[in-house]
Every structure is written in structure tokens, then in C-alpha cells.
Structure 1
Amino acid sequence: MKITSYSYLFVACSLPLFALVSSCSSPEAKNENVKTVVEPPALETFELHKGKIASSLQIPAELMAYRQVDLYAKVNSFIKDLKVDLGSEVRTGQLLATLEAPELSSQLAAAESKLKSQEAIYMSSNATYNRLLETSKTPGTISKNDLDIAMAKKNSDLAQLEAIKASYKEAGIMTNYLNITAPFDGIITSRNVNLGAYVGPSGKGSELPVFTLQELRKLRLVVLIPEAYKSLVKLSDEVKFTVKAIPDHVFSAKIIRRAGALDTKLRSERVELDVINADKTLSPGMVAEAIINLSRSNNTFVVPKSALINTSEGLFLIKVVNKKTERVEVTKGQETVSEAEVFGNVNEGDVFVAKASEEIRNGTVIQ
């Protein structure tokens, strides 16, 4: 059999083509057709349970006198004598100052004179009536009309006597106002007059009080509780506080009174604590730093703060349902450094992502 040159040429050209086809079906080409399976990310989760969270509120407070009163002169008068001065410790009923008002003395003397005159008139009319009454017992001696006139005169004089007695008593009371006494035990913390000064009721003779009296052995600590913490503060809760004057000492007291309503301007509730100050270490007007422990009476849902996402749309937890994520909007209550209370459409036993991030969207598949 003869092989022509054309046949040789065909065989020679076919060899490179075969080599090219063989190279296209190499192992590298086969690997490119194999799809890589990507596993979903594994995230740490936790089950939601109820518990209690303990936190504290640090807030400014103010010390006030337990009782305080500005003492003015009841009547227009002049200072005759001052019995006490700034810093004097006084007792209930103690005389603090005597005043002088000559017109009041004249009014009292005139009222006393009228009283004595009217007493004499009444005694006369009463005696006349009694004599006529006794004589009328004999038939035909005194007419009934004369007896009635005598009785009316006696009753009129008695009424006049009672009115004058009231005027005399009023003049006596006004005279007693010339003595200023202490309404309770305390310390004179302000004296604004000197001997001979003209004094009178507030706005009608005195711009400033004669004395300011404060009780210092017992003080009030006034704290304004913000609206958000109102339900966490209860009566008898112990509060610790410090003052700048004695920074190394921590004082404590219990909540005794609370307003029960919010201030319309500050949106806060006023609570008061009684502070025993027998040694008078503390003073009214001091600014204190109060620390109030906060706790709810019932358990609430508590989550780690790392599980919360705070976005422009709101505050969210990332819930895991059938290995898929779902954002749940919640509201945050009180918190500590690592935990926070949450309120919303959540239930005990729900599973949430422990370390959430904004990159985890709704419907993300996780392990």
C-alpha cells in the first residue's frame, strides 16, 4: 500500500489539533466546574429570661431646715428691745424682741375705761329689773309693761357689755403683738433690725423680717426624682449622700415623704428625707450628692447590652427563628455597665443574638 504525500500532510496536521483538544480537557478545567459550598456564619445566641437588675441614680440634692419661719412685727411699731442676736439658740415661747406702739396702749386704756363704764350701767339696769320683778309679785303694784321695759333695758345693757368686752380683748391681743416670741426651738439665722427701727407687717412696714428662725437639729434632704425613675423609688428607701464641706463622710437617711405628683416645669417628683443633725455638722442650703439604689418590685427581661442595636429607626434585638434573623424593636429601661432591661414584643425563651451588629439583616441565615 502506498502512502501519498497528501496523506502524510493530513496526518501531520491532525497531531497538533489532537494535542489541543487534549489540553482543553485537563484536570484544571474540571476543577473550574466544581461549585464551592459556603457554610452560614455561626453566631453566639442566648435565651431570654426574666430577672432583676440593680442600678443606682446619682443626683444633686439640697439640705433645708426642717422648720423655718420669717418673723415680722404684727403691727406697725418701733423696736424697743432685742433679746437675741444672730446665732442665738432659742426655745419655744422665748421672748425675742419687744416693740413699742403708744397708740395701742391708748386704745387698750380707752377700751378698759369703756368696759368699766358699761359694767356699771349693766349692774344698775340689772338691779332695777330685779327690784321691779320682786315688787311685781305683789298684785297691782307694778304693771307688766314696766317690767318688760326694765327687762329689755337690762338685756340691751348686757349686749353692750359683751361687745365692749370683745373690743377690750381685741385691744389686749394687739398689745400682745408688741412681743415677738419663738414659735419653736431653733437658731436665729438672720437679724435685720436694730433698736429704734420702724417695723410692721410684710410689705406695710418691713421689707425684711425682724428675725429668721430655723430648726437645725433636724434637716430635710430634698431630692427631685426624674420622671423616668419615679416608679423605682419607694418610701423608706435608704439614700446615701455626701456634701462638699465634708467629702470624707457618707451620710444616710430614709425617704419619708414624696409629693406624688410631677413638677410641671422640671417633670420630676419631689421627695424628702429627714436627716438627724444633733451635732449641727450639716447646714441648710448645702448642696449634696445623693445616691439612690433603683430596683423594680417585679422581674423584667434583662439582656446583655451587646445584644442591642441602636439605629436611626429605633432600638432592636436580633431574634433567631428557624436559623434566620429577625429584628425586634424594644424599649430600654434601667441599665448597668453590661446589662439592660428591655420591654417590647418579646417572650421568655426567645432566642436572640448575643453580639448584634447592623450588618445582620432580616432573613440572614445563621448557625
Structure 2
Amino acid sequence: MSNFDQGEKPETGAAKAGTTRRRRWLIWLIVPGVVIIAVSLFLPSPPESDEAPAPAAPTEVVMQLLPSELHEVRRAALRDTVQLTGSLVPGRELTIAAEVSGRIEDVSLREGQAVKAGEGLVTIDVEALRNQLEQQQSTAQATLAQLDLARAQLRRTTDLVGRGVTSSSSLETEAANVAQLEANYAALMKQVASAEDDLSKARITAPFDGVISKRSVNAGAFASPGTELLQLVDISELILEGGIPVNYAPRLRVGQQVSIRVDGIPGRRFEGTINRVAPVAVAGTRVLPVYATIANTNDLLKGGMFAAGELVLEETQDGIGIPTTAIREDGDKTYVLRVEDDRVVRQEVEIARTWNRGRTSEIASGLDAGDIIVSQAMERLQDGTRVNRIGAAQ
């Protein structure tokens, strides 16, 4: 069966010619590409350069420094201190009690009122005491009259005995009578003085300038010797009753300075002086009691307030001190990083000693007042590092 019979159409002459032309164009496109690839495979590759390309220059790191990370070197007082805590108590405190029996006539003062020395505080009814005094005075006067009479009689008897008119036994009797009356009169005068003293004690006055801190009686109440009436305190000076570890005892002495802060009064410091040091530590605590006088010129402080501060064990008035955290070590060399323009540079220093329980180092040489140093241990910060300061140094 012919192709025509199978359903295929015979190609015409024009169709065959078109197919032939397309094949020729494809050949012309493919052949040059094959030739180029073959030539490139057989040609030698260009020689490699011996020099590597230059790397890009690294960017310089600039570190920022905060004011808390810097310290300005100054000359100032350097101190070695120990913590001191305790309570404030009045410098003088007195409980005033009745010394005689009687009914309270007047007690007008109340808690918080100030009084002056010699000002009346309490008056006790003294009528019974006054009567007793008058009785004692009358008895003494009567005895004195008897004594004067006995003395006159003794003088007469002595004269008679001298002239031989009267026996000597009468003289002895008269002399014994005078002696007895003199003894009675002396005893009565002591009773009069005691009654006068009791009468004076019925009016109670302030022994010193102070403030009434407690009142225990009212007018009309009966008081007997020992009855508590008032409590008077002097807070012009307060005593800090504190304690420190007993191992500091060898360095303690009367006259050392104390600087304290008081709960309830923020932002204020009060200065005082050690006036007493206990000879024995409190049993079981190894804490040595110390007592410091604190001036209270503005009456800001009150008894019972809690205080905390520092006791100055030793000090120097003119020294260069820097935070110990600023010190760096390199072998046997000690140095700090000083800020110079926009970089930090290594500055070797010599340390004289440490103060303030090791937190401050005194510099003997290497730094001057006005220098700015790095006060913190910043490991990434090294000699020559460029820095940018933010704010003023502390």
C-alpha cells in the first residue's frame, strides 16, 4: 500500500525546499559555537598574578565612656573608717521624783514643753511641813532660853565656889545641866534645818535647761518620797550609743570624729566626737560599745532615732586618692589609663597606701590634680584606644 493510501500527504517541492533552508541556517549557527569551545579548551590559561588583592582597611573602634566610668583626680582628705551604727539618746536625762510627802498643788507643764534651769516644775502642799517647822523652831527657842538660864546660873555658882561660899559639887551639877541643854539645843537646830530643807523640797525646780519628756502625776494626787513626777531631758547634745567590731579596739581613741546619717532625715550628715570607749566587748557578740557626742543645734535630732555612719580611725588632709578599681597591673608595674584628648594612654603610678577599707588608693607619684582617668576595670579598653566622653567625670 502506498503512502497516499495510508493517509499521508506527499510533500510538495516547495515544502522540501523550505525544510532544507532551515537546516542550513541551524548548521551555520551551531558550527561557530563548537569551534570557539574547542579553541578555548586547547589554548593555555593566562598566568596567575603573584600578588593577592589588598584587604580593606579596618574601621577604628571608638569606645564611649560614661561619667560613672571616669574619675577626675583631686587633692582631698583621705580617711580610713569603720562602720558605726546605734541609737541616739539624750545627753542628759533625769527622772524627777518627790522627796517629801504631800498633795500635788500645781503641775502645769506637759510633754514637749521646754524649761529653763531653776524654773518651777511641781509644787506640793506644804502646810503640814510648815507646821512641823514652826514646832521645831519653837522647841529650839525654848531650849535656848533654858540654856541661857543654865549658863547664867553656872556663872553665879562658879563665882560662889571661888569665894568658898558654895561647894564644888554644886558647880559640877550646874555644868552638867548646861552641857545637856547645849546638846538638846544642837539636836533641835538640826531638826529645824531638816524641816526647812523638807519645806524647800516641796517646790521642785528644773536642775538644767531641757524639755519635759514624760509627766506621771496630776494636780490633786498624793505623792510620797520616791513617787515619779516628771522626766526631763536635754537634747542640745545627743549620745550615739553604737558598737564596732572588737578587732578595731587598738585603733580607737577618745576624740576621733564620727559622721552619721539618721533615719528620717535624708540628705543630711551630722558630725560628732567619740567621748567614751567601753573597756569590754558585749558578751557573745564581739562588739565593743562606743559613745559619741552629736551636736543638735537645730533640734532636728530626737532621742531614740537610729543612726549609721563612719568612725574615722585615721586621716590625711591633703592627698591624691583614686578608686582602687582604676588600678591595673602588668607584671611588677602598676598603672592607670589616663584620658588624653580622644584617647586613653597608659600612665604608671606609685601607690603609697590604701584608705577607706581598701576602696581608695593614695597615689604617691604619677598623677596630678585635674587628670582624668578611667575608674572602672574595662578589659576591652587598652592603651591607645580611641574614646568618646559622654558628660563630665565624677
Q: Which amino acid aligns with 1:269?
A: L
SS in 2 for 1:155: helix
Q: CA deviation at 1:102?
A: 4.4
For residues 189 and 63 of structure 1, the distance between their equivalents in structure 2, rounded to whole angstroms, comes to 15
Q: CA deviation at 1:254?
A: 1.7
Shift of the 126–217 alpha-carbon distance from structure 1 to 2, 3 Å rule, reads same
TM-score, length basis structure 2? 0.57
Aligned position for 1:38: none
Gaps of 5+ in 2: 1-77, 316-323, 325-355, 362-394
Q: Which amino acid aligns with 2:260?
A: F
Q: Contact 2:83–2:244 at 8 Å: present in 1 too?
A: no
Q: Which amino acid aligns with 1:98?
A: T
Q: CA deviation at 1:91?
A: 2.3
For residues 360 and 193 of structure 2, the distance between their equivalents in structure 1, rounded to whole angstroms, comes to 73
Shift of the 285–170 alpha-carbon distance from structure 1 to 2, 3 Å rule, reads same
Q: Which amino acid aligns with 1:210?
A: L
- Residue among 246, 258, 283 paired with 1:227: 246
Tell whether 2:89 aligns with 1:70: no
Describe how 1:21-170 pairs up with structure 2 within 5 A: 56-137=81-162, 139-170=163-194
Q: CA deviation at 1:222?
A: 1.7
TM-score, length basis structure 1? 0.61
For residues 217 and 150 of structure 2, the distance between their equivalents in structure 1, rounded to whole angstroms, comes to 52
Aligned position for 2:195: 171
Aligned position for 2:33: none
For residues 336 and 265 of structure 1, the distance between their equivalents in structure 2, rounded to whole angstroms, comes to 28
Aligned position for 1:324: none
Tell whether 2:189 aligns with 1:196: no
Q: Contact 2:93–2:233 at 8 Å: present in 1 too?
A: yes
Aligned position for 1:271: 290
Q: CA deviation at 1:269?
A: 2.1
Q: Contact 2:81–2:357 at 8 Å: present in 1 too?
A: no
Aligned position for 2:266: 247
Q: CA deviation at 1:83?
A: 4.8
Shift of the 54–282 alpha-carbon distance from structure 1 to 2, 3 Å rule, reads closer
Aligned length: 247
Q: Contact 1:54–1:336 at 8 Å: present in 2 too?
A: no
Q: CA deviation at 1:153?
A: 0.8
What's the CA shift string for 1:256-281, capped at 9, x where partnerless?
22122223354322222222222212
Q: Which amino acid aligns with 1:147?
A: L
For residues 192 and 273 of structure 1, the distance between their equivalents in structure 2, rounded to whole angstroms, comes to 30
Shift of the 171–242 alpha-carbon distance from structure 1 to 2, 3 Å rule, reads same
Q: CA deviation at 1:292?
A: 2.1
For residues 155 and 359 of structure 2, the distance between their equivalents in structure 1, rounded to whole angstroms, comes to 95
For residues 260 and 83 of structure 1, the distance between their equivalents in structure 2, rounded to whole angstroms, comes to 44
Aligned position for 2:66: none
Shift of the 274–54 alpha-carbon distance from structure 1 to 2, 3 Å rule, reads closer
Aligned position for 1:353: none
Q: Contact 2:147–2:178 at 8 Å: present in 1 too?
A: yes
Q: Which amino acid aligns with 1:154?
A: V
What's the CA shift string for 1:267-323, capped at 9, x where partnerless?
322222222222212111111112124459xxxxxxx9xxxxxxxxxxxxxxxxxxx
- Which is worse superposed, 142-151 or 84-93? 84-93
Q: Which amino acid aligns with 2:300?
A: T
Q: Which amino acid aligns with 2:105?
A: K
What's the CA shift string for 1:38-71, capped at 9, x where partnerless?
xxxxxxxxxxxxxxx9753323221111110000
What's the CA shift string for 1:173-201, capped at 9, x where partnerless?
22222111111121112222211012234
Describe how 1:328-343 pairs up with structure 2 within 5 A: 336=358
What's the CA shift string for 1:200-225, capped at 9, x where partnerless?
344xxx3xx31111111122122112
SS in 1 for 2:197: helix
Q: Contact 1:233–1:294 at 8 Å: present in 2 too?
A: yes
Aligned position for 1:238: 257
